[in-house]
Structure 1
């Protein structure tokens, strides 16, 4: 039984380095595309809802009604886009999308407020986008409740009964992301997603390219073992991927202002493990695919489920248990927990060991399957 021979391994590494130097487009994909995608998605993927376009129908013009409108605007969640004078105008603007909400202040608003009588205001909300609708509803309720408490306190003070005391209070502290900015949550996830996609696509073409160019025959007559070939092919890409990872890490940290609160060395070490895993996944795809087109299709067939199942877009806790198990078959699931844990929480290996074990197990599994799939012969 032949053993692992370092000389054969290094010969494959040297061959692949030469191939990478000659294949300038692939090198550009590895170095330029991650930065381009990070800039693109870093600005495009934003779940914060601000400046919701609002139409105002103020049927009781007064200082009190203008104060209410100002309270909506001062939150920076709402922005007055138009003042209207009928439901017909509101309906038309909601239909064409020029506004998403409409605040309607009735003609008796000022009179009832001055008499300390109960009065309602109406808000019509476009529910096509549930995220905007939920934000608009919750913010409007908070504004109206605050205004109601203020009016009640003023009423009590006029009656000489003192200030209104709240029977129940809530002291909240938001940890890890105090301003609750979506970019702080998204940038680490984008780094993991981009690195997975780019590195996997690069190596997915590796063995397929050998088949299409006819160089596989040369490998057949050599004593190179499957493990030596696999590791030899991914080693140069680990270096390229690590360099690319450091670039997007610097951009995410300094350009987007998302600092790494934990250990940089731990982050880089676990990132190398993730890169090896995704590179092996690409090699596995190349052992199955017959052409580069098939390799591309298989790679993208894996990318979409990984985005949905890994927790990048949607919380995994809200998914059915079976879907969560499927997410456990995606290495990005573990790497996102590692990235966000080190970026946002500053935790160490003691808090991340389960994710490290999960990703390491997947790495060994995909390496074993790729070796079994690979046969040093042309089918």
Structure 2
């Protein structure tokens, strides 16, 4: 018998045997629909995100205008500002309100006119217009601030004609004074390192939690757990608490590196940061537990983790400016907990924000946690049944 088998193998390749193995793999792939869906879905997701959502040159950034002067010169400057393509005026507010909007991350810039701007331009006094910029993300503010260089000499070209043409002399009729807030040196590490807390937690905790339950299922020990009087909520809590402690350890390592190695400032309170981390860890672990109730193997758990991780890292504002993405991509990003956690961490560490500034982002994470946790509990009950 052995001689017969070895003699058949020695005859060379057999297309019949290759086709038989091929058919077997196709049947197995058809049965594993989740893996097949991931193989098709991940490339499509990458194509859509990188092709449409990602923008390294963000434009139409939200801008507030402190419009004390309602004269024609100020209106011309605002129109010229929007014509650059980098600014989109979303609000006309007071100086204090502009500061609050920048601190909360709702606008990227604020343009502040003096009260008598138009009159001073006509008198040839070259008044100064203030530009406040949220410089926590240098990639978002850099190109826009560069576009402002030509604004003073071009913005009033249509207004200063005829007898007023003399005001368009060698010097521009007004000047811009840029104030970069929260990261005036434009250090990239100040923006990236705080966001790494959320990225690391998302990647590791979702995968570890998702694989924990599927490992029990693969090893056949899940049936023993289901035979015990442990309730679904108790099972979920017991499974995720060890990983919550691991998540806190990861945060401490990143925070220590941020302070010691990169010199990232800590303007807010550490207790507030701890509470924000706890809220995000619970949300992340709820996602992992939900995946564990869907996946049938550890390989599927890893595939689902990568499918979840990809939009989080690309649409959260961690790698690319959030306001530079198209509106539909921003809507998707708003549904992801990492988007809100990155905002909270950067606001606490770089801006010294309080709960009044970040409560909306914290509430969004809490709503996400409740929704995903409910799905996880319902699916776990179905597993028991």
Shared fold (TM-score, shorter chain, > 0.5): yes
2:368 to 350, 353, 362: 362
Tell me, yes or no, if structure 1 residue 247 matches structure 2 residue 253: yes
- Aligned residue runs from structure 1 range 100-139, under 5 A: none
Q: CA deviation digits over 1:115-164, x for unaligned, max 9?
A: xxxxxxxxxxxxxxxx9xx97xx69x99xx9xxxxxxxxxxxxxxxxx96
Residues 377 and 285 of structure 1: CA distance in aligned 2, closer, same or farther (over 3 Å): closer
Could you list the runs of 5+ residues in structure 2 that have no partner in the other structure? Answer: 1-55, 57-138, 154-168
Aligned equivalents of 1:378, 1:349: Cα separation in 2: 40
Q: Could you say which residue in structure 2 is the equivalent of 1:99?
A: none
Q: Is the 8 A contact 1:193 1:332 kept in 2?
A: yes
Question: Could you tell me how far apart the structure 2 residues matched to 1:345 and 1:265 are?
Answer: 15
Quick check: 1:181 aligned with 2:187? yes
Q: Is the 8 A contact 1:220 1:376 kept in 2?
A: no
**How far, CA to CA, are the matches of 2:363 and 2:304 in structure 1?**
26
Q: How far did residue 166 of structure 1 move?
A: 4.9
Find the aligned partners of 1:254 and 1:320 in 2 and give their Cα distance. 37
- Choose which of 315, 331, 336 in structure 2 pairs with 1:330: 336
Counterpart CA distance in 2 for 1:355 and 1:340 is 12
Contact 1:262 1:342 in 2 (8 A): yes
Counterpart pick for 2:173 among 150, 155, 167: 167
Asked if 2 retains the 8 angstrom alpha-carbon contact of 1:185 and 1:340, the reply is yes
Q: TM-score, normalised by structure 1?
A: 0.56
Q: How far apart, in 2, do the equivalents of 1:225 and 1:376 lie?
A: 13
- SS of alignment partner, residue 212 of structure 1: helix
2:285 is matched with 279
Q: Secondary structure at the match of 1:170?
A: strand
- Unmatched segments (≥5 aa) in structure 1: 1-46, 48-130, 146-162
Displacement of 1:377: 4.6
Q: Residues 327, 164 of structure 1: CA spacing in aligned structure 2 closer, same or farther, 3 A cutoff? A: closer
- 1:190 aligned onto 2:196: yes
Secondary structure of the structure 2 residue equivalent to 1:341: helix
How many residues align? The count is: 228
Instruction: Answer whether contact 1:284 1:370 (CA < 8 A) is retained.
Output: yes
Contact 1:216–1:378 (Cα < 8 Å) also in 2: no
- Asked whether the 8 Å contact 1:201–1:296 carries over to 2, the reply is yes
Question: What SS is found at the alignment partner of 1:374?
Answer: helix
2:226 paired residue number: 220
User: For residues 238 and 200 of structure 1, what CA distance do their matches in structure 2 show?
Assistant: 11
Equivalent-residue separation in structure 2 for 1:333 and 1:165 (angstroms):
44
Q: 1:56-71, aligned counterparts within 5 Å?
A: none
Question: Which whole-Å CA distance do the structure 2 matches of 1:182 and 1:378 have between them?
Answer: 49
Structure 1 runs, 4 residues or longer, greater than 3 Å off: 163-167, 375-379
1:376/1:164 CA distance change after superposition, 3 Å: closer
